[in-house]
Amino acid sequence: MRECFFRLIVYLDLLINIVSYLGVAPWLLNIIQ
């Protein structure tokens, strides 16, 4: 049960990183151009 919960947290953290990257990427491209 605890191992499954830990895995869920890891996936959630990865998802947040992807979402934040997608949010930052267009802003970064605007600075470069």
pTM: 0.58
Q: What angle do CA 7, 11, 4 make, to 5 degrees?
A: 20
DSSP labels, the chain: -HHHHHHHHHHHHHHHHHHHHHHHHHHHHHHH-
Residues of the chain with pLDDT under 50: none
pLDDT for 19: 92
Domain ranges of the chain: 1-28
- Long-range contacts at 11-20 (CB < 8 A, ≥ 24 apart): none
pLDDT for 6: 94
